[in-house]
Homo-oligomer: A and B are copies of this chain.
Amino acid sequence: MIRETKATADSFTQVKRLPDKVRTDATTMFSILDAGIVAHVGVVDGNQPIVVPVGYARDGNRLLIHGSSASRLFKLLDSGAPASVTVTLLDGLVLARSLFESSMNYRCVMAFGITHRLEGDDEIEGLRIITEHLMPGRWNHARQPTSQELKATMTLELKLDRWSVKVSEGPPDDLDQDLTSTEGSSLWAGVVPITEQLGIPIPDQYVPSGTPVPDYLKTWGRN
């Protein structure tokens, strides 16, 4: 069951600037997380922040990440260090008539919290969900993890109960005076869309020639 959350309003999740870009519905938050591949996870070591890219998946009202049990990031998270998880989808370059209003279109989720480690069957289910998000259909078509491999892997869950969402979309937001000035009215202005695209799958050298690309792989697409 998906428990819907709303954006909370503590000092970290309340967006004060550019309020027209704020979204507070979980549906938008979920759709952004479901479209992404990599999250940037921030944690503090001493007084030094570190930001590390990790593959992830959303499952209901939680976000799942996995990595090496030996990594600094995962050891810190497992010790209870507060986490910041940011997923950014870049949608376009926004060319306004003024440099000041020039910007980007994007969808961004920032989530905060303390992660919880999954173990046993919960971990395997978590890994299955992550795999099926990143590589739909692959879980049942690859060699399953051994107990040794599971030991080398850490799978963490972050409950999505402290988060904010910002969405910047549409055309430039120029000042009236830039629309009507001689300089401004002669300028090209608009959006250059950006998309992330999957290319043609490249088999490695050990795949027997003539082996077809699996059907499940053909359905993948992003954005």
Interface of A is mostly: mixed
Interface size on A, residues (CB 8 A): 97
B202 touches A190 (CB 8 A): yes
Q: How many copies does the complex hold?
A: 2
Whether, in the assembled complex, A8 has its beta carbon less than 8 Å from a beta carbon of chain B, the answer is no
Instruction: Given A104-B38, A188-B214, answer yes or no on A202-B193 (Cβ-Cβ < 8 Å).
Output: yes
Give Cα A137–Cα B98 distance, bound, in whole angstroms.
14
A121 at the interface (CB under 8 A from B): no
- Complex Cα distance, B40 from A171, in Å, reads 24
Q: Would you list which residues of chain A between 22 and 42 have a CB under 8 Å from chain B?
A: 37-38, 40-42
Q: Residue-by-residue, is A201-212 near B (CB-CB < 8 Å gives 1, otherwise 0)?
A: 111111110011
Are A142 and B84 interface neighbours, CB within 8 A? no
**Looking across the interface, which residue of chain B has its beta carbon closest to that of A211?**
B188
Are B99 and A142 in touch, CB under 8 angstroms?
Answer: yes
Are A102 and B138 also in contact (CB < 8 A) when A188-B203, A188-B217 are?
yes
Q: A44-B49, A49-B84, A102-B135 are in contact. Are A179 and B206 (CB under 8 A)?
A: yes
Q: 27 A-B residue contacts at CB 8 Å?
A: A12-B48, A16-B72, A40-B42, A41-B51, A42-B50, A42-B84, A44-B49, A49-B51, A51-B51, A52-B110, A53-B88, A53-B108, A55-B104, A95-B135, A95-B217, A98-B143, A99-B144, A102-B131, A142-B187, A189-B204, A189-B207, A191-B201, A191-B202, A193-B199, A194-B197, A194-B198, A196-B196
